[in-house]
Amino acid sequence: MSALFEPYTLRDVTIPNRAWMPPMCQYSAAPDGPLTGAPTDWHFTHYAARATGGAGLVIVEATAVSPEGRISPYDLGIWNDTQVEAFRRITRFLAEQGSVPAVQLAHAGRKASTDRPWAGGAPVGPEAHGWQPVAPSAVPFDADHPVPAELTKDGIREVVGQFADAARRALAAGFEIAEIHGAHGYLIGNFLSPHSNHRTDEYGGSHENRTRFALEVVDAVREVWPDDKPLFFRISATDWLERDGWTADDTVRFARELHAHGVDLLDVSTGGNASGVRIPVGPGYQVPFAARVKAETPMPVAAVGLITEAEQAEKILANGEADAVLVGRELLRNPSWARQAARALGGEVRVPEQYHRSV
């Protein structure tokens, strides 16, 4: 049997295969009005296509736990019940197609309040639906970003509560798996890295202090997320800095801690917290970071990073480098990538009856 098309069970949720769709922002929600942050017809069509195409797990893009937690004014959110109702249409359809619906809960931190990438991605102010970003320290992402407001301890507690509230709503919306976004230079990653966290209180300095906020979020979400449903955590395994950044060694240590706090799988990416760094991008370039976590900790892992070919994905799993693969850009190009990979590898995926002539 193809390793890519073996089912995978975490807690009481069985994912039918290991070809998964990662969270990829669409920047297509309304920026204001009663439907702010709610998924639209675009989102339904986008995610439905990947489910009918055979992806075993579909992780909905970064979904903000508060209005201020969005990357852009056009991001999804799950801070109110109107958004919950709109998500139900998506989760119901994904489940009907045999895909497991998951959602990434996020807060953008110091990289919040920016325009859509195709409009330049620059920071935006109130005149363009923008707001004041927050962070662990008053340190901007780069010279083009504003200085973020440093979160007070009360502010930190408020955000922890927002993650828990978002998890409750995600459950009500029909999601089977929740993922906490701790990667790519957003708020949780800001706290983890000494590059962006210059605090001198119990949330800064040592590894224990810099990971405190992340673990408080995990504990708050795990408390409200059912015991029979998995919890994922996405991490940037390295800042790609020579010094004074988050490292692969930090990630291995933290993976053990996350596992002890009830996280079921680490979604291993890299970068995004420091501007101007050189990243050696190439096929599977982030897989070694996932492989190291899998080899040195009890934490299951999913690998990402220019995984585009069926044989490449199969080899990663067969070699024991990861437990699943997240196929991003290729799924944007080809919504039926999983179905075509199954044909190439001799695996099986559910094919909608309406598409039976394609088998």
The CATH number covering residue 214 comes to: 3.20.20.70
Burial 170-185 (b: 16+ CB within 10 A, else e): bbebbbbbbbbbbbbb
Report the amino acid identity of residue 235: I
Q: What's the CA gap between 55 and 98, in Å, rounded?
A: 9
| Per-residue pLDDT, 357 | 85
List all residues 6 or more positions away from 343 whose beta carbon is below 8 Å from its beta carbon.
none
| Per-residue pLDDT, 359 | 74
Active site residue 186: yes
Q: Which domain holds residue 140?
A: 3-358
- Tell me which of 27, 47, 186, 203 is the catalytic residue: 186
List all residues 6 or more positions away from 224 whose beta carbon is below 8 Å from its beta carbon.
164, 167, 168, 171
| Per-residue pLDDT, 138 | 98
Q: What value does the CA radius of gyration of the chain take, rounded to a whole number of Å? A: 19
Q: How many domains does the chain contain in total?
A: 1
pLDDT lower than 50: segments of the chain: none
| Per-residue pLDDT, 44 | 98
- Burial group, residue 358, by CB count within 10 angstroms (0-12, 13-18, 19+): exposed
Q: DSSP state, 229?
A: S
pTM: 0.97
Q: What's the CA gap between 351 and 359, in Å, rounded?
A: 8
Helices (H), the chain: 41-52, 81-96, 153-172, 187-192, 207-210, 212-224, 248-260, 287-296, 310-318, 329-333, 337-345
Q: How far is CA 12 from CA 5, 8, 177, 226, 308, in A?
A: 19, 10, 11, 10, 30
- Burial group, residue 7, by CB count within 10 angstroms (0-12, 13-18, 19+): exposed
| Per-residue pLDDT, 110 | 98
Report the amino acid identity of residue 231: L
